[in-house]
Chain A
Amino acid sequence: MAFSLTTSNMFGELGRFASWFKGDCIAPEEYSGLAVTEKLENVQMLDKYNLRNPSKGTLYFATTHLIFVDHEMRKETWILLMHISSVERLPITTTGSPLLVRTKTFQSVFFVIPRERDCHEMHQTLLRLSQPVNLDELYCFHYKSTPDDLPKSAGWNFFDIQTEYQRMNVPNDQWVLCTANKDYELCDTYPSEVYVPARASSAVLLGSASFRSRGRLPVLAYLHHNNAAIARCSQPLSGFAARCMEDEQMLDLIRRANPNCGYMYVVDTRPKINAMVNRAAGKGYENEAFYDNIKFQFIGIGNIHVMRKSLQKLVETCEQNSPTMSSFLSGLESSGWLKHIKSILDASWWIAKAIECGVSVCVHCSDGWDRTAQVCSLAAVCLEPHYRTINGYQALIEKDWLSFGHKFTARCGHVACDSRERSPVFTQLLDCTWQLLRQAPEAFQFNERFLLTLHDHAHACQYGTFIGNCEKDRRDLRLWERTFSLWGYMASHLNEYKNPLYNPKAHPDVLKPDLSPQSIRFWRGMYCRHESGIHPRESLADILPAAVEHSGALTHHIDYLAKRISTFKSLLSGRKADKSKESAVVNYQNGSDNTEIDTKVEALQIDNKLLYECSGNLTELECANDDHPLKDVGTAAPTGKIPLITEKADAAVPATLAQLESEINTVALDWKSLKNVTECSCSTPLDHFSRKHHCWGCGRCVCTRCVSARAPLPALAAPRAVPLCAACAPTTPATPTSPTSPPHNLVTPAT
């Protein structure tokens, strides 16, 4: 069975699947199925809260991970090499040479290595491995199979820009698809398909592009149902006095594409002083005197360097050895992080308000791929409920970030490059989204885990989705052929990202955020994720979804019981079982709860269906809740592959009462509470962010690794494979769909 390395690891799960192999299975050059290039014994790992009792163990250098194993405590720490952001050697001590490893996922680990030479080598190795020189060396190009045995194509076509604009009723008589950028000749960092005012001539487009930094001319980013539009671009090359008739015309056409309003806003998201400085370099901002009917507005959001330094200070604050309330709060204040988060949200809400009032807005910053992307996306999240769904948010990232050239590779530091290009711009988008989610959880279909997954994968390079700096880069790299898509992986784990509090009716329209400084909070779940002791000891984020899943299990069990009851009733009354079959099926259909089905993105469902059918394997797709978008697909699947319980149940009743009882008892009525769970039965510690599963058979709580099989249970009236622990899993395959043993195609990419 293959596991997704980063995802599991970041929630501290995969980190523990060594015990799956247990002791002697560890070959000298392999660890948990990963090829180990090097191994260091007697290494100490220091915990900042427990400096006196370091754990001692072995450090393995696998091809993708750095793994520390404390054999005595059976504790493992996994660090994805691509996640390493810095490696620092500290002054030598009596016990050895300390090495501080920091990750992009805000983990910092101290190793003390007995021999200085080893430490030096390890330092060099880590530096080399964590920052490849060429894009081709990235993990995604060597990653061979996903945990769900998805084909490589899965997910690459989930989102396409035309569908996304069609959802906004574009093209229409005001906005049209422009083919001038088909081969990126107009602007190489823009998508090949851009939407522009219907009346904009090629001359206007060309002229405007030539007057904008890097050719990033004003194009449509979002169209509200009241015809007010968000357009995005880069700064004009105006300098102190330059003007461009075509650009002025272009903005005027954008304004006129919204017939309801006589003016429009041009928002420069930079602080005014920065914009002024740019003027001296021949760039700058629009002169209100040259552009008719525009209102110009500065909204000061700091640049990438300000944000990078701010995050650095924030991380230092979180890393304090024994933080006092005072040092933590003043560190938080002096980092300025929350101030910056607020400034981004302020700008976004300002734009959203203008749009809501029917005024179009044209947004830019310098190049229009950092701050502009942030505020365009967040304004859309506030304005349009669709963008608060899982698919919608992914589509938004696809459109505003990937298509419009947010430089993920540069900003996330995927390969060795100028460190001044790195900046937590995308992290801030997620943080801002988390602020909105925290304030109004019922407005969002996704949960915190969804945002953390996006964050970690943007840096992990396991999937090709975030590789490259713009659409053209990705096309040149042929990522869709050579790598897996994160969207494919996420689509088969949708259940993990669903927010049980989501209620689309709660905020059917604009979501008004509370932007008072008192309501902008420090995101502990992101920046202190790896500190186990500080999170709520009982997590509603686990307990509520478990309650929902349990309800789903019970519903299927109830349907089964009802069916059996009617069978017995008719048997007892001497009638044929045929009728009961009908009524049972009807009963089952009535019993299912389809309220939350997200039917909007049909493309996604169709694609997943295809994917599901060719994989032929039961994955989590089928174990999803009733409202999983793929549920209908699952039930409609050919019966040859999945024996339907309905047939089996009606074919015959069990021979004896004892058999019936044992059939009933294959499903647990009670599930173990997730409240006090600190470890799985395999003694793997489970922390706040570990994904916890329930075995549907016995109701025990198990870790990802211990979900040893997925198989349908006879006492469930649904042909779905459900998660089972080793004890409950059928010893002989009950159906051809539950494999006897996991395929041993563990992820061992070539070095």
Chain B
Amino acid sequence: MEFIELILINRLDGVILKYPHHDNVDGTVCITGHHLILSSRKEGVCELWLLHKNIDNIEKKETKVSGGILRGGSLFLKCKDLRIFQLDISSTSELNLLAQTLENLSTIQDPSLFYPFFYRHMHPIMENGYTLYSVEGEFTKVLATEEWRISRVNQYYTVCASYPKGVMVPKVIDDETLAAAATFRQGGRFPVLSYRHNNGAVLLRAGQPLYGPKHRRCRPDEAILNTVVSAGMKGVIYDLRSSNAILQQQNKGGGSESPANYSQWKIYNRSMDEVDNQQQLLESFSKLIEACVDREISSDKWLSKLESSGWPESVRNSLHTACIVAQHIHQKAEPVLLHGTRGEDATLLVCSLVQIILNPDCRTIRGLQALIEREWLQAGHPFGSRLRSGPYSASPARSAPTFPLFLDCVRQFLEQFPCSFEYRQCFLVVLFEHAYSSQFGTFLCDSDQERETRGVYDQTTSIWSWINQPDELTAYINPMYDPTPNVIWPSVAPMSYVIWEELYLRWLADQHTEEREEQYKVIRTREQHLRAQALQLRRELLELANQYYAPNTK
């Protein structure tokens, strides 16, 4: 195995692990190809298993004693799951070796060396998560309308590298038209169906049109869009960029649809630039987390950092945009097309949130899995690149916490609608952690194509295969769940924003959300149990009464 060259030291005794809210652990560090293991070899003391891929940043602090002699020091391992571990090592040379080893291992770029390819799932897999959410299965109801079909034009990923093999398109549009339209859209991302609401209004998404300074037009693209607009109506195109950003892109060959060519569509724009700008979003997240983990911060600093991070505003803006789009669909039954520049970040985020508002299915555990499969994994959100680094690292290009932003938005929904969701917030935390580093292959690579060629689907286990095991699943079920059959409109007022304390603040202070949810469960279960008992006794009583009164009627 090539890890051998990277591992300069594979075992180190006498390391002291310091971690807030826990006793220091004196133990031995072992380094394997994928894990750092720290064990005290004592009964009752937890072992630490840390995936190298979870390590976001390594800071080394050498201890200088008098006379400038180095006497070991500390390694600060800052993790993508937001934890910060301190390892105290007494020898400087070993400190350096360990730091270098971890640096080597945590920065491996080749996905085929990642842990999911080496991990063997212990339990028999009942359902293969990779085949659970097929396009046919997901759109059965839509297909039944006879207005939409599955196109295999992208079977070999030649039309669009970031799309899956099968996409939903209007039935009357043939594959040639699709291929032609793809040439007019950024990254070949021609308009495809994202969601069809129960009133028939649809949500489409695409890449930006390559309108450019030369004002190009593309009849096939117009044809696709025009088929979804019914007579006497207008569709709505939401460009998720500021006017400035659109103009900039137009000079580079992109831009927005021209109203002249898309006369059946109203064209609006609403800026989600801060989400589509990866560097800005990552910086925003870094600032937020920096403020969240700061134990010495003052009240004023905390609020001003929270504000200046821009993260709360991004959450609010995402929800707000989704509400606006959902209103068009639900209240006016207008078809909506969403796009930004590439249509792989903000576009997917808004598409997903719109569906959570509109579609009760997305508020179930499996529904959320399906949503993530459809709108993130299959739709070509580049998980591999975006989540390569977390909030602690010096932002390498293309990394951005778009998916964590989505999870945070869902967390806001859970706060406002604690009964409408089948899952509880710990499910979102699990998704957050596994999206960054995991034994499962689901979130590896940047697209369906890449996952297919690298053998992710054959050689790794899907996270859904694990989560959907009955034993595992129960942990995520919200005891207060009572399905809401209709749309839910979240509040987007600044006062309604809550910080996701169970994630961002969990290492700062103990969070008791789960204990509380257990209490909810006790209360709910008691109520249900008593109801069942009362029903049973009613039957019993009526039976006896029947016997008693029967002779009278004879």
A interface residues with partner B (beta carbon < 8 Å): 318, 323-330, 332-333, 336, 338-339, 342, 439-442, 500-501, 503, 514, 516-520, 522, 524, 528, 531, 533-538, 540, 543-544, 547-548, 550-551, 554-555, 557-558, 561-562, 564-565, 568-569, 571-572, 653, 656-657, 660-661, 664, 669-670, 673, 675-676
B520 contacts partner chain A, Cβ-Cβ < 8 Å = yes
Report yes or no: A329 in contact with B495, Cβ–Cβ below 8 A: no
Does B297 lie at the interface of the complex (its beta carbon under 8 Å from any beta carbon of A)? Answer: yes
Least Cβ–Cβ distance between A570 and chain B, in angstroms: 10
- Inter-chain contact B292/A564, CB cutoff 8 Å: no
Which one of B301, B495, B499, B545 lies within 8 Å of A528 (CB-CB)?
B495
Contact status A329-B494, CB under 8 Å: yes
Per-residue interface assignment for chain B, residues 525 to 550, with 1 indicating a CB less than 8 Å from any chain A CB and 0 otherwise:
01100110111011011101111110
Q: Chain A residues near B415 (CB, 8 Å)? A: 536
Q: Measured between C-beta atoms, what is the minimum distance from A666 to chain B in Å?
A: 12
Per the CB 8 Å criterion, the residue count for chain B at the interface is 65
Bound form: Cα–Cα A538–B416 in Å:
6
A554 contacts across to B, CB distance below 8 A = 527, 530-531, 533-534
B contact face: mostly helix, strand, loop, or mixed: helix
The 4 A-B pairs of least Cβ separation, nearest first, read A329-B307, A328-B494, A333-B303, A561-B537
User: Which residue of the partner chain, among B303, B509, B527, contacts A519 with CB atoms under 8 Å?
Assistant: B509
| Residue of A517, A537, A547 touching B298 (CB-CB under 8 A) | A517
Given contacts A518-B297, A547-B524, contact A440 B480 (CB under 8 A): no
Residues of A within 8 A of B546 (CB): 657
- Residue pair A534, B491 in contact (C-beta under 8 Å): yes
Task: Say yes or no: is B459 at the interface (Cβ < 8 Å to chain A).
Answer: no
Please give, as numbers and ranges, the residues of chain A lying within 8 Å of B251 by CB-CB distance. none
Of the candidates B482, B520, B540, B548, the one whose C-beta lies within 8 Å of that of A675 is B482
Q: Are A500 and B495 closer than 8 Å at their CB atoms? A: no
Report how far A531 CA is from B494 CA in the complex, Å.
12
For residue B482, which residues in chain A have a CB less than 8 angstroms away from its CB?
673, 675
Closest residue on chain B to residue A548 by CB atoms: B523
Interfacial chain B residues near A534, Cβ < 8 Å: 491, 493, 495-496
Using A554-B533, A565-B544 as known contacts, list a sample of 13 further A-B pairs with CB atoms less than 8 Å apart, ordered by residue number in A: A318-B495, A333-B300, A336-B300, A514-B510, A519-B505, A533-B491, A536-B418, A547-B526, A562-B537, A568-B541, A657-B545, A661-B542, A669-B531
Task: Evaluate contact between A675 and B537: CB separation under 8 angstroms.
Answer: no
Q: Does B420 contact A (CB under 8 A)?
A: yes
What's the Cα separation between A551 and B528 when bound, in Å? 8
Are A543's CB and B419's CB within 8 A? yes
Contacts of B516 in A (CB 8 A): 441-442, 501
> In the assembly, what is the distance between CA of A35 and CA of B541, in Å?
54
Report Cα–Cα, A332/B300, bound state, in Å. 9
B523 engages A333 (CB within 8 Å): no
Q: Tell whether, in the assembled complex, residue B493 and residue A323 are in contact, meaning their CB atoms are under 8 Å apart.
A: yes
Inter-chain contacts of B535 with A (CB < 8 A): 669
Q: Which of B298, B497, B538 lies at the interface centre, i.e. has the most chain A CB atoms within 10 A of its CB?
A: B538
- Assuming the contacts A501-B519, A544-B520, A676-B484, asked whether A664 and B495 have C-beta atoms less than 8 A apart, the reply is no
Q: Within 8 Å CB of B496, what residues of A?
A: 524, 534-535
Interface centre among A318, A441, A535, A536 (most CB of B within 10 A): A536
- A538 x B419 contact (CB < 8 A): yes
Nearest chain-A residue to B311 (Cβ)? A325
A-facing residues in B424-467 (Cβ within 8 Å)? none
Chain A proximity mask over B479-496: 1 for CB below 8 Å, otherwise 0: 010101000111101111
- Return the CB mask of B315-330 against A: 1 if under 8 Å, else 0: 0100000000000000
How far does the alpha carbon of A336 sit from the alpha carbon of B303 in the complex, in Å?
A: 10
Interface pair A339/B298, CB less than 8 Å apart: yes
Of A442, A550, A554, the most chain B CB neighbours within 10 A belong to A554
Q: How far is the CB of B533 from chain A (nearest CB, A)?
A: 6
Inter-chain CA distance A568–B543, complex, in Å, is 10
Closest to B304 in A: A333
Q: Which residue in B494, B505, B541 is a CB contact (below 8 Å) of A564?
A: B541
Interface pair B541/A664, CB less than 8 Å apart: yes
State whether the Cβ of B333 lies closer than 8 Å to any Cβ in chain A: no
Give B144 Cβ to nearest chain A Cβ, in Å.
29
> Please, which residues of chain A bring their CB within 8 A of the CB of B548?
568, 571-572, 653
A339 touches B300 (CB 8 A): yes
Evaluate contact between B537 and A565: CB separation under 8 angstroms. Answer: yes
Check A518–B302 contact: CB distance below 8 A. yes
CA gap between A326 and B545 in the complex, in Å? 68
- Chain B residues in 8 Å Cβ range of A676: 484
Q: List 17 A-B contacts (CB under 8 A).
A: A318-B495, A325-B316, A328-B494, A330-B304, A333-B304, A518-B505, A520-B299, A534-B496, A540-B418, A551-B530, A554-B527, A565-B544, A568-B541, A660-B545, A673-B419, A673-B482, A675-B420
A531 to B531, CA, bound (A): 36
Residues of B within 8 A of A568 (CB): 541, 544-545, 547-548
